[in-house]
Chains A and B, each alone.
Chain A
Amino acid sequence: MRLPNTKIFNTALLAVTIAGSLLLPAHAQSPQEKGLAIAVEADKRDLGFGDVTASMEMILRNQYGEEVKREMRNKTMEQDNDGDKSLIVFDNPRDVKGSAFLSFTHKNRSDDQWLYLPALKRVKRIASSNKSGPFMGSEFAFEDISSQEVEKYSYNYLRDETLDGREHFVIERDPVDAKSGYARQVAWIDKDEYRTWKVDFYDRKNELLKTLKVSGYNQYLNKYWRADSWLMTNHQTQKETVLNFSNYVFNNGFTDRDFNKNSLKRAK
């Protein structure tokens, strides 16, 4: 469960683009190049975090202000040259307690996902093309909470903007995957630490659908920034979901064996 723009970056194509802009100083950086460079820099700053666990609390609020709570635990492991592996164990609501969700994020192809159903002791491989579907009935789509890879978007630098007293780059991200629920996203990334503070999501009709506001950033291991709270507001339904993170723990020493079908079955 990582913040947007935090992924190891090393595809040749993108490297060439960057190299090109460095080698040709006379060449004015285009908005596309500048947008990409910002995404790449944000990604680079989170490189090498290794692994992390966190507790997650989701508060789903409907248009009448009624609330329900979800609780889960997440562990994530960074992969060399590919998207993260992550495992989410559900604690609440109680009927899904013990269910667990394993996903392998990939840069250039669809993710691999498995679900463990404790009542049947069954691990089911599930279709990962379900990107735009709601996660646990919340305002977060699967694609909002899965590991954000640089390669999953094309970029466009829009402007600089001050928000809450911080200087930001404002960039547009267009999902590469046709199955995405979004025509585009607009992200506010601060100039000092390249953290994402706000994202506007536009639906396929290019109308403003949701806004994500991120708050409570803390730095871990003197390098990696993680937020305590994500607030997603749906402008079309007036519903919102707060996703609170707590108990971030790094350096758990996970291996790939902590992220496979066998460990999914064992997850408690």
Chain B
Amino acid sequence: MAKKFFPVKNLTSAGAFGLGAVALLAAGSVLANEFSGHVASQTRLFMQAPAHQKQQQNDASASANLEYYHDWDGGNQRIAFSGFSRYDNNDSERTHSDIRELYYWRAFAHFELYAGARQVFWGVTETVHLVDIVNQDDAIENIDGEDKLGQPMVSVLVERDWGTLEAFALLGFRERTFAGDKGRLRPQMQIDANNALYQSSAGQQHLDFALRWSQVFGDWDVGISHFDGTSRDPLFIATPSADQETTLTPFYAQIQQSGIDVQATLGDWALKLEAVSVKEKAAGRNTALVSGFEYTLFGIGNTDADLGLLMEYQFDDRSGIRRRNSQNDLALGMRYTLNDVEGTELLFSLSRDLDNSSRFYSLEASRRLNNYWTINAEARLFSNMDENDPGFDLRDDDYLELELRRYF
């Protein structure tokens, strides 16, 4: 079982090297170091019969997340590791492992250096993450774009009065993960993930660069970023295959993407904006933005609970095969935080396509059972999906997900 549970797949070479480094360092002097993590069992119940005959009705899976860090040199050096693994009873693609993080960090007098696989999040909005580009989506984990694959890199960070500047050399490309044959939440046509195409002749070895400046101006948090390299979002090319079944081949273009993210936190209001300008090689320049607010009512009805109301408008002028779900959509949400001992939280959102009235509902709930156990639920409904909407393939994939987690 143990062997099956940790099928070592998707391990980057940087990761394998780093594991050895951890083993060596663990023998060294100890300043601070600690293991932590969780195991979880998850069930996803799909409410309709699948659109494709090979797809299974429901699915059960188990996952594990293990983290370790070790600090030394008076807190000026660190090795950190975070590994993830899932075993899924239906979808062999969803059975996967990844080194989320395995890096060496060192603080020098005037800058900080990171080397290894890391996860880096950029941005401020809730419903779409436009500027966040360093890490590839682990899309098979969740369609919300919040699970990411580890990205090998060398990066340098400087902090000055004028802000924080981070420069990244991104070494080696990570392909997006997709549901397999039997998995749900996938396009009708199967994705031929093993034969991905690249615009750059360097393929996965293309060296990508990214730069981000960020600063806090009183109530304003501002970031400006630029990325030059392989797009994390593939285009899909319909390819006829030998058995007459058309498959979709992921194509990763070369892009330059400039982005800005701004949040103004004014009293009970958080005003948010993310915008990107994307120039794809041998194609046009495009613009996308997401902007809105979250307004929080604290202590509603004389209780300890807070109710956050959020609204975000999404715009994206990419069309044709580049078209996004968020081309002209409005998302409304409610975040209900009980502030109780169990940390109970509910997040409900509704996104509506303003062009074709496709609707997407999402409900996330979590509650602590005790110091070590939590229960999480997630429900997602794809309603009235228009056949021109990129979400059309998910029209029969309404699901309820339940997860029980044990932290250690």
Contact = CB atoms under 8 A, between A and B. Distances in A.
Interface in A45-100: 60, 62, 68-69, 92-98
B268 A127 contact: yes
A45 B105 CA distance: 40
A129 B268 contact: yes
B380 interface: no
Interface stretch (B12-20, B240-248, B338-346): B338-346
A62 B342 CA distance: 13
B164 A268 contact: no
Contacts of A129: 267-268, 296, 298
B304 interface: yes
Contact of A133 (B157, B216, B306): B306
Interface stretch (A9-17, A117-125, A159-167): A117-125
Given A68-B371, A268-B32, A268-B71, A120 B146 contact: yes
B315 interface: no
Nearest to A98: B36
A69 B371 CA distance: 8
B121 A133 contact: no
A216 interface: no
A257 interface: yes
A215 interface: no
A68 B306 contact: no
A75 to B, nearest CB: 12
A97 B265 contact: no
B255 to A, nearest CB: 23
A133 B36 contact: no
A71 to B, nearest CB: 9
16 contacts: A68-B370, A68-B371, A69-B371, A93-B368, A94-B371, A95-B38, A95-B407, A97-B36, A125-B265, A129-B296, A130-B298, A132-B299, A133-B298, A133-B306, A134-B304, A260-B164
Interface of B: 32, 34, 36, 38, 67, 69, 71, 78, 105, 112, 119-121, 124, 146, 148, 157, 159, 164, 214, 216, 218-219, 221, 263, 265, 267-270, 296, 298-299, 304, 306, 339-343, 368, 370-372, 374, 405, 407-408
Interface of A: 60, 62, 68-69, 92-98, 110, 112, 120-130, 132-134, 137, 179, 181, 257, 260-262, 266, 268
